Amino acid sequence: MDEVELATMLLSVLTYKANIGPMTLAVDTGGLHFACAVGLNKLYDDVMPIEIPPGIDKFTFWAAGKLVALSRMSGHVISVDLDAVLYRKPSPLIDLHGLHYEPISWATYGWNPMWETAGQLLGANGWQRLAPINVAVAAFYNEDLRDQYTNLAIKLMQICSRPNGGIPDSYKVSVGGSGSATPVAEMVFAEQYLLAVVAQSMNCSVRCIGDLDIGKDHMVPSKKAYHLWNSKRFYAKHDRAREMYLTNVMEEIYQLVSGQPEESTVQGIIHKLGLPTIRVVDGNAPAVRWSRAGEWFGPGEEVVRL
């Protein structure tokens, strides 16, 4: 994780707790060691250790931990990825809220033999093509839906992790310039496609928080939520955009914790994560930027150090 991801991760928990309520960190052993080392665990109301069930390929199913965590929860549950920020609580009158629908025109979401496997698990075949649901943010207000979804997803991941159990190479998609085909289609099917299929089979009401804006990538125009994801690659190549994004995120964090009881805890985490610690305000305009120690500041600029 680089500083763009780390800053988003910190904003995610602070925004949720400020606007919605208590939050639990579901994390495996390695993640827990990291959270405790930087103090991030102190910001959560509870920490739930999780382990991936035997027989699941962790490389293929990188969201397996989230599905396991959801399967262990009870009651109404709102799930937020570490690279997503949720500003408003979704309405509990709807069974399921996702972040947005994914475009079925993308090769990753094209038909593949996993439809047949999923159909067998559901006891039905011939499902029409549905738009996959992005669950970087997801609110489950129907417990039966969540249980059915997670149980089936875990079974599907175990089946597809067996030798020759996954989809053929011809249906795999090259991702991230690696030069080799990766089983990303299996991951998104288990996490995103299967949820849409199960929700339809149970006649559940579904609503998405916003639309995927391909031009803006992760931003939802209503700012109910946003998801970093694809923009990580953009910020890695464009320094100015990266600094602007970091400034926006750090300013939101500053506004949330300034003068609050958790301010000193957040200060310590920011230092350990190596994030910008100097807030610079232009005395002649309302512009704000976030800088690092050792940088030069102009006349009339007001500096606050975290």
Question: pLDDT-derived band of residue 176, with 50, 70 and 90 as boundaries?
Answer: very low
Among 174-183, 207-216, 272-281, 287-296, the least confident range:
174-183
What's the token pair of residue 117?
Answer: 């496997």
Q: Look at residue 97 and tell me whether its pLDDT is greater than 80.
A: yes
Distance CA 221, CA 215 (A): 11
Distance CA 223, CA 155 (A): 35
User: What is the average pLDDT across 279-302?
Assistant: 80
User: What is the average pLDDT across 185-210?
Assistant: 87
pLDDT tens digit sequence for 120-167 = 776 655 555 688 899 999 999 999 999 999 998 898 888 878 776 665
Q: Look at residue 209 and tell me whether its pLDDT is greater than 80.
A: yes
Produce one character per residue of 242-279: b if its CB has 16 or more CB atoms within 10 Å, e if not. bbebbbebbebbbebbeeeeeeeebeebbeebebbbbb
All residues at 6 or more sequence positions from 252 whose CB lies less than 8 Å from its CB, including other chains: 11, 15
> Quick check: 121 and 180 in contact, CB under 8 A?
no
User: Whole-model pTM?
Assistant: 0.88
Among 34-48, 196-210, 223-237, 249-263, the least confident range:
223-237
pLDDT tens digit sequence for 21-43 = 999 999 999 999 999 999 999 99
E-state strands within 117-230 = 133-134, 137-140, 173-174, 181-182, 206-208, 225-227
What's the token pair of residue 152?
Answer: 């089936």
Question: pLDDT-derived band of residue 175, with 50, 70 and 90 as boundaries?
Answer: very low
pLDDT tens digit sequence for 110-122 = 666 666 676 677 6
Among 61-75, 155-169, 241-255, 256-270, the least confident range:
155-169
Round the average pLDDT of the chain to a whole number and report it: 85
Q: Over pLDDT 90: what percentage of the chain? A: 51
All residues at 6 or more sequence positions from 130 whose CB lies less than 8 Å from its CB, including other chains: 104, 193, 196, 197, 200
Question: Cα 284–287–292 angle (5° rounding)?
Answer: 110
Residue 275: which region, alpha, beta or left (left: phi > 0; alpha: psi -120 to 50)? Answer: beta
Distance CA 216, CA 196 (A): 24
Question: pLDDT-derived band of residue 215, with 50, 70 and 90 as boundaries?
Answer: low
* Residue 126 pLDDT: 52
What single letter denotes the amino acid at residue 293? A
Among 96-105, 181-190, 266-275, name the most confident range: 266-275
What's the token pair of residue 3?
Answer: 């500083």
* Residue 156 pLDDT: 84
> Quick check: 118 and 160 in contact, CB under 8 A?
no
* Residue 302 pLDDT: 77
User: What is the average pLDDT across 53-67?
Assistant: 87
